[in-house]
Each structure stands twice: as C-alpha cells, then as structure tokens.
Structure 1
Amino acid sequence: MAELGLNEHHQNEVINYMRFARSKRGLRLKTVDSCFQDLKESRLVEETFTADEVSEVLSSLQAVVHSEVESELINTAHTNVLLLRQLFSQAEKWYLKLQTDISELENRELLEQVAEFEKAEFTTSNKKPIIDIIKPKLAPLNEGGTAELLNKEILRLQEENVKLKARLKTIEIQATNVLDEKSKLERALQDLQLDQGNQKVR
C-alpha cells in the first residue's frame, strides 16, 4: 500500500482532508457538467448555426466555465490557507516554528506518490462511512508526539536542575572551605602580630 512517510495519526488526518477535497471537487465538477447540459437544453436545437452564432454560444459557455473553475481554484487556495492556519496555530501553542518548502509542491515524483496514495486509499477504504472520517476540526495536540516532546523537555529540565543543584552544593562546600581557610589565616596573622608585639615589649 502507498505511504506518505507519516505516522498513523497524521496519515489519517491527510486521508480526512483528501476525502473532504474529493467531495468538494465532485460537487464542482457536477456544476461544470450542468453548464454544458443547460447549454444543450436551452441553446442547441436541431437547426443550422452560423459561425457567429457558434462563436457566441462558445463564448458564453467559456465565460460560465471560466467563472466556475476560477471560483473553485480560489476556494481551494483559501481552504488550504485555513488548513495551514490550524496547523500553525497548534504548533505555536508549543512554541514550534514550522517551515514549508514551496518548491516541493511542484515535485512531480511526490505528486505522483500522493496520487498513488489517494488511488490506493480510496479504492480500498470506500467502505468507511464519511461521518466517521470527517471531523468538525482538527483534534487538539494534547497527546502523541507533542506530549512526548513536552515530556522530553521536562525530563531535560529536571536533569539540568539536578546538575545545577549538585554544582551549587559543590560551590557551597568550596566557599565554606575558603572561608575556613581565610579564618585560619586571619587567626595565624593575629597570632603572628601578637608575637611580634610581645617581642617588641621585651
């Protein structure tokens, strides 16, 4: 079976989006088909058309189809922005900075891989009910990889805290030793000064 190199959770999210996109695409194609059907039923009758009439009919059809296709492309672009917004918003909650490589969006090899994945997925899993696949929004990132990342960071900070405490204790011992040594030197100095004072008195 074709794979995208993602973990199971993320691959399921991709499948959800592909199912959504296929549904929207199907609706738009039906709209385009209806443009041609309307033309056949309203404009084409069993009679001969002049070149100008044919040109006018085709121009009218072109304008309608152009509008439908443009509307779908715009809607698809805006939908993708909303999807990216969801992903980036979730990443920002964990202070992550995601990056995109726009050049990869035209990588023919990767596009063919996605097409193969879609073909394999939707010819083997059409039995899955749509209501079980499509969710109203992405599930919050409170488990799985993000939780693991957070736990690793907590463990790292705990280990660093233990090291810092050990280092602080060592420094405290060293400081105590220095203070003791200083006290000994001060007493030795005082004794020396006292001895020198006594010698002068004699």
Structure 2
Amino acid sequence: MNTLNEHHVNQFVDILRFSRLRRSQLLNDINLIYEEESEKELYDTTYNKNEVEQIINNIRDVVKNFVENEVLNINHMNVLLLQQFCKQAEFWHLNLLANISELENRQLLNNIKQFEEEQFHKNKLMKQQTTNKLEPLINEGPVGILKKEIEELQKENKQIKQDKENLNNKIKELSNINNISDDKIKELKNKIDSLQHEIKKLNTLKYDKEKNKKDDLIKAVDDAIEDKKSKKQVKKDINDNLINEKINNIIEKSKLADIKGSKLNVDELLKFQNIQTQKQIKSLTEEVESLKKDLDSKLSQSSPVQNLKRMLIERNNQYKILKAEILKYNPNYQFQN
C-alpha cells in the first residue's frame, strides 16, 4: 500500500471497512443460526446417537448454505467493484491487467492483514470523503476536453495507419508498373536495334542501287555524248566542207591583188569559222545537260527507287514512335547514335 497515493489508500480503507462489516455480520448470522437450530431441535433432555447426528447434519446444511450464499455475494460484490475501476480506466482509454496468481500470495495477504490492523486498531483511519460513490463520468470541462483530444488522436492514428497501408499498396503497384515498364523498354530497345539494323541494311542497299544507277547513268551519258560527238563530227565535217566551199567561192570572187587585202579576207573567213564552231559547242553542251536531267528524272521516278524511299520513310516513322514510347517510360534514357 505504500506505493499508492493518498486517495487510493482511502479507497482501499473504505473497501476494508465494508469487508470488515460484512465479516462481522456473517459471524453474527452464523451464531444466530446455531441458536435457532438449538432452540428448535434441542427441546428434550436426552438424545440417542442418531438423533444427535441428525441435529448436527441439519445445522451443518443450514450453515453451509448460508456461508455459500454469503461467499457468492462477496465474490459478486468484488466483481462489481472491479467493474467500476474498469469503467473509469476505459474512460481514460486504459486497459487494466489482473495478476490472478498474486491473490493466493501469503506474504501479500499478510501485508493486507497488517494494514487493516494498523488502520482499525490504532484509529488511524483517514477521513472519509462526503460521498462513497466514484466520481461521475463527465463530458464537460477539462475532463471532457481531454477525452475529446484522446478520441481525435485515436482517429488520427487510425487514419495514419490507413494512409500508410494505402501508401504501401501504391508503392507495390508502382513497383509492379516499373518492372513492367523495364520489360517494355527492353522490348522496345530490341525493336529499335532491329529497326536500326534494317535501316542500315536498306541504306546500304539503296547506296548500292544508286551507285549502280549512277554508273549506268554515267555510262549512258558517256554513250550519248559519244554518239552526239560522232553525229556532231559528221555535221562538222559537212559544215567544214560547206565553209571551205564558201571560202573558195569568196577567194574566187575576190579580185584583190595585194597581200594586205588577201590577209583581211582570210581573217574574216577564220572569224566566221570560229563563230560557227562556238555555236556548235554550245548546242552540244545544251543537249548533254538536257540528257542528264532527263536521265535523273527517269531514275528518281523508277519503281525500285520509289519503293526504297517509301520503306525508309516507314522505318523512320516507326523509329520515332518507338523513341517516343521509351521516353514516356524512361525520360532519362540515352539513345545511341
């Protein structure tokens, strides 16, 4: 009892006083039972053995029933007392524990007995408070405020636990999504590598075809130039013959006797011949350029080149789409050039 405060000590003193009173009443009642049974049964002066045994058995049964009922009442009263303590503890959100093994501890029982003797035999009872009832459970004032605070804290704690559980579930979902994203990124990366390989292959094929086309074009241009040259050479020979005929006609028509006049006519003839040659070269160059443009146009419009262009455009579009999907799942992903 030394570990309890003054208020609790007073409560236990009241309980001991009540128990002491009940014990005294129980003993008085037992004495009255014996007196009543004696007056009722012992009215003769002499009794045989069987009659004495019957009287004793009757008294024993009466006392046994009385004591049993009183002990049962005491137990029930103790339960009611504990119920009051538990209600007050629950009001403050406390859970009480009872160590049943200490109820038969002889040392503790002797301590309680000694405490009772000190309190009642030495007249050191503390003053009893004006009421023997437990303090009422109120919902106003500081107690009510504290109770509301405790309830709010419990609700907040419950909400925190719920949020924690939801957060753990979201973390698991995000982890699963991340794993799925990693797998998808790997799959897209493999597709990109495959597309890059195909693009390189198509570029190589396109380069080879374009090279072959250019070689064929150059050869065709060379052949055309040679053909034009041969044709121009024939025309030139014809023109040269015509020019020579004109020169001869001019020479024949010229009646000039001096050398200076002859030299002037020759210069005019050479100038005329040079102009005709330049016109022929210009015409030949224009025809060669026209032929090159015509061959380039036919080459670009050919079906193999169109198919290659279309395939390259489709591959590039697929490559852009895959890059966008990878950046969607992993914005920090670095692409290899």
> What amino acid is the match of 2:135?
A
Residue number among 82, 87, 90 corresponding to 1:84 in the alignment: 82
Alignment of 1:61-100 (within 5 A): 61-100=59-98
1:34 alignment partner in structure 2: 32
Identity %: 38
> What amino acid is the match of 1:6?
L
Unaligned runs of 5+ in 2: 154-337
Displacement, 1:61? 0.2
Answer yes or no: is the 8 Å Cα contact 1:4–1:114 preserved in 2.
Answer: no
Q: Deviations over 1:117-148 (max 9, x none)?
A: 0011011227878xx46844223488xxxx8x
Answer yes or no: is the 8 Å Cα contact 1:39–1:61 preserved in 2.
Answer: yes
1:117 alignment partner in structure 2: 115
1:137 alignment partner in structure 2: 133
> What amino acid is the match of 1:139?
E
Alignment of 1:4-19 (within 5 A): 4-19=2-17
Q: Distance in 2 between matches of 1:135 and 1:21?
A: 18
Relative to the length of structure 1, the TM-score reads 0.63
1:192 alignment partner in structure 2: none
How many residues are treated as equivalent by the alignment? 143
Alignment of 1:180-191 (within 5 A): none
Q: Distance in 2 between matches of 1:40 and 1:84?
A: 40
Q: RCO higher in 1 or 2 (8 Å CA, sep ≥ 6)?
A: 1
Structure-2 change in CA distance of 1:134 and 1:75 (3 Å): farther
Answer yes or no: is the 8 Å Cα contact 2:16–2:116 preserved in 1.
Answer: yes
Relative to the length of structure 2, the TM-score reads 0.39
Does structure 1 residue 25 correspond to structure 2 residue 23?
A: yes
Displacement, 1:101? 0.1
Displacement, 1:6? 1.1
Q: Deviations over 1:31-83 (max 9, x none)?
A: 11101111222222452211110111011101110011101110011000000
Answer yes or no: is the 8 Å Cα contact 1:32–1:65 preserved in 2.
Answer: yes
> What amino acid is the match of 1:19?
R
Answer yes or no: is the 8 Å Cα contact 1:16–1:133 preserved in 2.
Answer: no
Q: Which has the larger radius of gyration?
A: 2
Q: Distance in 2 between matches of 1:42 and 1:97?
A: 54
Structure-2 change in CA distance of 1:119 and 1:141 (3 Å): farther
Answer yes or no: is the 8 Å Cα contact 2:30–2:63 preserved in 1.
Answer: yes
Query: Which stretches of structure 1, 4 residues or more, deviate above 6 A after TM superposition?
Result: 126-129
> What amino acid is the match of 1:9?
H
Unaligned runs of 5+ in 1: 158-202
Q: Distance in 1 between matches of 2:48 and 2:131?
A: 53
> What amino acid is the match of 2:17?
R
